[in-house]
Amino acid sequence: MIRVLIINLLRFLSLVFLQVFLLKNLTLYNLSTPYPYIIFILLLPFETPNFILFLLAFLTGLTIDAFYDTPGLHTSACVLLAAVRIAFISITVQRDGFDNEPEPTLSVMGFRWFFTYASILTLFHHFFLFNLEVFRWSEIQYTLLRFLLSSVFTVFLMLISGFLFFRSRERK
């Protein structure tokens, strides 16, 4: 239990540091901005109680909002991400027979499941985030393009980190 807390605390601190100090000003032609800090919420263990999950999502978004000067924007998107995570896991984990797995990492769940999981949750997060940020119908094409390209960039970074930082295990 203590080991899981320490790992998740280090993951939180490193992802916030990466997002705030390295990726904050990284944009590709003002169309694609990566937000890999959301992987913290995605990689929380399956047995995390919903209240704790929502609290951690709220605190993660609030931390990013504090550094980005966007009051409530990332917080609301992270809370939505937590809600979608609960729904996605309740649908797929029990149906696919992953009940005994501790956490939803690439090495534990496999590429196909993790790619689907990360893609769907990132699409929800980014769609809500970018539409809330712009909040105008006149810029819907630009917003949709930013949402799609940023989602692809973020999922790509998640997959790269999954391959680099998690050792592969054989599933039984």
pLDDT digit string (tens) for 84-125? 999 998 888 765 555 556 778 887 888 898 899 999 999 999
Residues 121-145 pLDDT 10s: 999 999 999 999 888 888 889 889 9
pLDDT value of residue 171: 46
Q: What is the pLDDT of residue 27?
A: 78
Ordered by start, the domain boundaries in the chain are 2-17+36-165
Question: Other CB atoms closer than 10 Å to residue 5's CB: what's the count?
Answer: 9
Mean pLDDT of the chain: 86
The span from the CA of 111 to the CA of 104, in Å, is: 11
Residue 117: burial class (beta carbons within 10 Å; 0-12, 13-18, 19+): buried
